[in-house]
Structure 1
Amino acid sequence: MSSDVRFTDFKSDKQPTWCPGCGDFGTMNGMMKALASTGNSPDNTFVVAGIGCSGKIGTYMRSYALHGVHGRALPVGTGVKLANPDLEVMVAGGDGDGYSIGAGHFIHAVRRNIDITYVVMDNRIYGLTKGQASPTSRPDFETSTTPEGPQQPPVNPLALAMAAGGSFIAQSFSSHAQRHQEIIEEAIEHDGFSLVNTFSPCVTFNDVDTYDYFRDSLVDLKEEEDFDRHDYDQAKGKILDADKEYMGVLYQNENAQSYEQSHGVDENMAEIPDGAPEGAMDLVREFY
């Protein structure tokens, strides 16, 4: 790993096409800064993304990357990590990609405890397809396809992760730049599957879950001196609290063995096949 990498080294020359003010800008900046701060470099980082506004994040970051199909980013990230455990694997997605069509993969990736970091850009709406309700939308959130609201309770991704045996469960906010970076750094350094559900406001289609809403409502666990992230019951209480939303690491089990540890996965199986042209990997890096 490089010791002198700057976060700007992770920036590609592709300009993001997100709407001005989109929370995904802050989410991605925090990811790049956290990767650099934890000693990673573009050459040892692999970013996997699915479908949605977050889907092209691998194009906007300079690293190995794959833009997969809807809801399937976690299986790809799992395969990448098991093929080459030396890579820092970061999976990015949205609340629709991860908690709807990808919900089954989410549960199983959590319970396997593979050493990857999953950053979900939760804007509580389908932004790319012009503003439909998502799994995390409020029951009364009115959209063109749900004029009276979804009329069902939203998915609680933190509770799903805890029920599946999650060893690192965190929540962040893209607008709190320094705090967001700190949380992702801790997720990267955790040995096992790390979930960082990140509130990333959609300024075009969601006028309810706004920057002001999250600034006013989020409670930072860093300021709660009595909270112990290693206490399962305390964490469960925060995660199931219907009156408050929290930012920070809600639960961490440092004693849980990662999949790689429990199954003895430590060898790089991702070898360049015989006959590959000289400089093939340089071409891959240039492409991404």
Structure 2
Amino acid sequence: METTQSTKIQYTAKDFKSDQYVRWCPGCGDYAVLNSLQKVMADLGVAPHDIAVISGIGCSSRLPYYTSSYGFHTIHGRGAAVATGVKVANPKLTVWQITGDGDCLAIGGNHFIHSVRRNVDLNVLLFNNQIYGLTKGQYSPTTKKGFVTKSSPFGTVERPFRPAELTFGARGTFFARLLDVDLKTSQQCMIAAAKHKGTSVVECLVNCVIFNDGAHGWLSEKETRTDRTIVLEDGKPMIFGKDRNKGLVLDGFNLKVVTIGENGVTENDILVHDAKCQDTTLHMKLAMMEGPEMPIALGVIRDVEEETYDEAVEAQIAEVQAKSKIKTFDELIATCEQWEM
């Protein structure tokens, strides 16, 4: 059906669901992320044929089969490379890259940091369950030190990667974090990622019910979630807690939790989130918060504008073509040395 300016197709999540049976373990956090993504695709209003979903290898990388759009299930760790090629070849496509903590940060680590550095206009959903699920429970680059797995029977001795740290180190322009059970925040993060021009990295904290059940359980518990997480919103005070009476302030160079109403603290003392700030200092501190006293930051932490790789490539090609005397492939062939038999 063709649309005009006065006629616009209204999509629903069903329009982005394929006819494939979703094959994840019952209770897997990937289900929630998939459902949120399909809802977001509908809300964005981009036609299914204008979307490409690219993945590598892993449990989360099955996701392209479950969306009604173009898709490419690539090889281990190479999702970013293929997604970059798709976007550069057809900049008009909305490209979602689906990857896991193993696929993205181990074998795919080099591709990941360079796609972020180049600022390719990709929407990266990085599923982080802190374990290798598809290959049956080995520790991953984000597994916590000391954790016992099938490949670390006495506990891993390695320090884990932190996706936010890698993203900022690669000069990332967008970073957000969501929790699988928090559907509202998940959809807000994905919509913001899709609207951002450049590489949008969304760390999805998901549960692997088989090999690392409860990895994020201390955040997921509904009764205590509001005290252990803070949902950041650009331009709004960093307030959280069940009673909305806790907030973040700067104490020297560090962040500190205070209680509004105690020791003369008022809402005016609470830091206001600025996701658009070019300086990464506070964004990094917010993304790296952890420990019993500090909440885990969810929502959009960083969202700044920079030139995108695909736009730069397209502009360069147009500039070279405008200056070149050769306009067609036949004209190019005519400039080459030729023989006739």
The question of whether the paired residues in 1 share the 8 Å contact of 2:57 and 2:103 is answered with yes
Q: Which amino acid aligns with 1:170?
A: A
Contact 2:286/2:301 (CA < 8 Å) preserved in 1?
yes
1:182 aligns with 2:185: no
The yes-or-no answer on 1:140 pairing with 2:121 is no
SS state at 1:166 partner: coil
- In 2, Cα distance between equivalents of 1:214 and 1:77: 31
Pair 1:257-2:307 in alignment:
yes
Pick 1 or 2: higher relative contact order, CA cutoff 8 A, min separation 6. Answer: 1
Of residues 32, 42, 45, the one that matches 2:48 is 42
The one-letter code of the counterpart of 1:259 is Y
CA positional deviation for 1:246:
1.4
Task: Kindly indicate whether residue 209 of structure 2 is the aligned counterpart of residue 224 of structure 1.
Answer: no
Give, in whole Å, the separation in 1 of the partners of 2:190 and 2:283.
Answer: 18
Does structure 1 retain, via aligned residues, the 8 Å contact 2:87–2:310?
A: no
Report the equivalent of 2:287.
239
Q: Distance in 1 between matches of 2:9 and 2:141?
A: 40
Task: List per-residue Cα deviations over 1:78-114 (Å, max 9, x = no partner).
Answer: 0000110111100001100001110000000001001
How many Å separate the matches in 2 of 1:208 and 1:143? 14
C-alpha separation in 2, matches of 1:133 and 1:41: 39
CA-based RMSD of the aligned residues comes to: 2.0
CA contact (8 A) 2:88 2:313 kept: no
Using the TM superposition, give the Cα deviation of residue 261 of structure 1 relative to its aligned residue in structure 2, in angstroms.
2.9
Does the 8 A contact of 1:44 with 1:87 survive in 2?
yes
Counterpart secondary structure, 1:154: coil
Contact map agreement 1:10 1:41 (CA 8 A) in 2: no
**Shift of residue 212, structure 1, vs aligned partner:** 4.6
Q: What pairs up with 1:35-74 in 2 under 5 angstroms?
A: 35-74=41-80
SS at match of 1:264: helix
Q: How do 1:1-288 residues align onto structure 2 when only pairs under 5 Å count?
A: 3-215=9-221, 216=225, 217-222=228-233, 224=238, 226-231=272-277, 232-243=280-291, 244-254=295-305, 256-265=306-315
Which is further off, 243-252 or 114-123?
Answer: 243-252
> Partners of 1:27 and 1:195 in 2: how far apart?
14
Quote the Cα distance in structure 1 between the aligned partners of 2:316 and 2:98: 24
In 2, the alpha carbon distance for the partners of 1:37 and 1:97 equals 29
The number of aligned residues is 267
Identify if the C-alpha distance between structure 1 residues 119 and 160 changes in structure 2 by more than 3 Å, giving closer, same or farther: same
Q: Please state how far the C-alpha of 1:173 moved relative to its aligned partner.
A: 1.2
- Out of 227-236 and 239-248, give the one that drifted further: 239-248
Alignment TM-score, normalising by the size of structure 2:
0.74
User: What is the TM-score with the length of structure 1 in the denominator?
Assistant: 0.87
Cα distance in 2 for residues equivalent to 1:59 and 1:201: 21
User: 1:138–1:149: 8 Å Cα contact kept in structure 2?
Assistant: no
The separation in 1 between residues aligned to 2:219 and 2:153, in whole angstroms, is: 22
CA-to-partner distance for each residue in 1:174-228, whole Å, 9 max, x for gaps?
2111210110000000011100010111011113414454443332223716222
Q: Where does structure 1 lack aligned partners over 5 or more consecutive residues? A: 268-288
2:275 alignment partner AA: R
CA distance in 1, matches of 2:230, 2:59: 27
1:197 and 1:230 map into 2 onto residues whose CA distance is: 19
